[in-house]
Amino acid sequence: MKSSEIRRVFIEFFAERGHLQVPSSSLVPHNDPTVLLTTAGMQQMTPYFLGLERPPSPRLTSIQKCFRTVDIDEVGDEEHLTFFEMLGNFSVGDYFKAEAISWAWELLTERFGIPRERLRPSVHRDDDFAFAYWRDVIGIPAELIARLGDEHNWWGPVGETGPNGPDSEIFYDRGEALGCGRPDCGPGCDYCHRFLEIWNLVFMEFFKEADGTQRPLPRKNIDTGMGLERIAMVLQGVGSVFETDLYLPILECAADIAGVRYREDPRVDRSLRVIADHGRAVTFLIGDGVFPGNEGRSYVLRRVLRRAVRHGRLIGPVNRLTAASGMTSTT
């Protein structure tokens, strides 16, 4: 299933269930000084969750552009990204945990056709309702539901303060061959890449104050996020997000310009992945009015752009020839 088809199926599924599609907001947050860039689909929903503005509908859905700076130095492996698209459905004081879980399961197993035995959920260790719902209504055996702590199953806030709450994540089992062999291996495992998180269902119940205290929100909300790149990886049956139709054409174009091929040299592969991610990220940042500079989000753009250029030089014809001869290049 191509990425364009995944977007269409997702939006149509939730439109059939009364959700109004809203356009992606800019990567430059609107009237939100707590964050530098838009990092999640729920950011434009924050005024609705807090009761500060009336939403155009209590049920909303979107495909949000997101940019996260925390993993810039990790980009180049087969997992990390700076820019990505987040598919989301939102409830502002309307439905809650039961509907969010049921609809996510229906979309994944029926519309996307993912075998149910390949899907594993996790819940917050104190969320008895979500655990019981996965077990008794969805039919997941109790031993296959991971009950994890705050570091895994608590989402938010985006900044120092804001809406947050426990969540339930849905993982795709990529197979034993990618496992670590530990008896406790499962969703959230820190030792292998067997379980890929594809969807996070956040049960937004609290507001974190500046002093760290949590106060209940005036009404309970739903915020979900499914990375387009990860679900495309699953539905296209490839080994990483960089082999999906979102990145492979960019990667292959860069390889052609540099006169190299993907999957022949690990060092070259890393540089090609950096160029593919950063090229996409820079394009969307500039499209939203960010330009290179020395401060704030302008510096983020400058850093990402320079990093992409540096990796382009590493695999360019001049540097490859000088490296092979043992010389150095000042290019």
Please write the tens of the pLDDT for every residue from 294-306: 999 999 999 999 9
At residue 120, φ and ψ (nearest 5 deg) are -130, 125
Mean pLDDT is lowest, of 130-139, 143-152, 251-260, 313-322, for 313-322
pLDDT at 159: 78
pLDDT at 263: 94
Concatenated DSSP letters of 263-274: TS-HHHHHHHHH
Q: Give the tens place of pLDDT for each residue, 139-192.
A: 999 999 999 999 999 998 877 888 999 999 999 999 999 999 999 899 999 899
pTM to 2 decimal places? 0.92
Q: Does pLDDT of 326 surpass 80?
A: no
Q: Residue 214 and residue 169: Cα distance in Å, rounded?
A: 22
Q: Does pLDDT of 321 surpass 50?
A: no
Q: Residue 103 and residue 86: Cα distance in Å, rounded?
A: 17
